[in-house]
């Protein structure tokens, strides 16, 4: 069973939970912005991160709002991360052991407000 990283660190939310009654793939480890995250082979990056309490995957380019997976079918592009250096829709891309995931490259260089 994976031991998820503590959710107390900054940017962590309440972790989502795997139904542990079903069999999973082999244990796999991801390096996410320098932090180790335990996961299982075959599950998607976005879901693996959510079970570690990492829900904010990027920030919207115009207003800089935190965003996470939304459609889970590769349509909305809200969950695009860098996986081993390549942009990937995290909701579809399966976890591989040793994968290096980076959330920061897609943060906006500058933020400007939206009318509110």
Partner 1 sequence: MTADYDLIVLGAGPAGVGAALAARRHDLKVAVLDQARAAGGQIYRAPNFRVGAPELRAQPDLARGEKLRAALEGSGADLFLDHKVWFVAPGISVAAVGPHGPTRFEAPAIVVATGTTERIIPVPGITLPAVVGLAAATILLKAHAVVPAGPTVVAGIGPLLYAVASGLLKAGGEVAAVVDLARPTDWAAIAPRLASRPDLLAQGFSWVAKLRRAAVPLFFGHTVTAVGGSEAVEDVEIRPVDPDWRPLREGQPVLIKARSVAIGHGLVPATEALQLLGVPHAFHPAEGGWTPQVEADRSTPVAGVYAAGDCAGVVGAAAAGLAGEIAGLSVARDAGRLSPSAYEGETRGLQRKWARAARFGSAISRLMALRTGLIQAIPSPTVVCRCEDVTRASIEAAVSAGVRHVGQLKSTTRCGMGPCQGRMCAEAAAELVALGSGSDRTAVGQWTARTPMLPVPLAAMVGVYDYDDIPKPVPAPA
Q: Is position 39 an interface residue for partner 1 (rule: CB under 8 A)?
A: no
27-35, 43-51, 97-105 -> range binding partner 1 (CB under 8 A) = 43-51
23, 26, 34, 110: residue in contact with partner 1 (rule CB under 8 A)? 23
For residues 98 and 36, what is the distance between their CA atoms, to the nearest angstrom? 10
Q: Is position 71 an interface residue for partner 1 (rule: CB under 8 A)?
A: yes
Entry field: residues in the chain = 116
For residues 18 and 35, what is the distance between their CA atoms, to the nearest angstrom? 20
Nearest by Cα to 81 from 71, 62, 67: 67
74, 98, 100, 105: residue in contact with partner 1 (rule CB under 8 A)? 74
């Amino acid at each position: 069973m994976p031991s998820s990283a503590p959710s107390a660190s900054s940017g962590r939310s309440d972790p989502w939970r795997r139904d542990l009654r079903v069999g999973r793939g082999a244990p796999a480890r991801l390096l996410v912005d320098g932090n180790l995250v335990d996961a299982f082979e075959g599950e998607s990056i976005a879901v693996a991160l959510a079970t570690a309490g990492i829900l904010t995957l990027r920030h919207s380019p115009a207003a800089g709002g935190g965003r996470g997976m939304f459609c889970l079918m590769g349509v909305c592009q809200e969950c695009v991360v860098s996986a081993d250096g390549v942009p990937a829709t995290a909701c579809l891309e399966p976890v591989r052991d040793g994968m290096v995931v980076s959330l920061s490259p897609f943060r906006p260089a500058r933020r400007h407000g939206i009318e509110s």
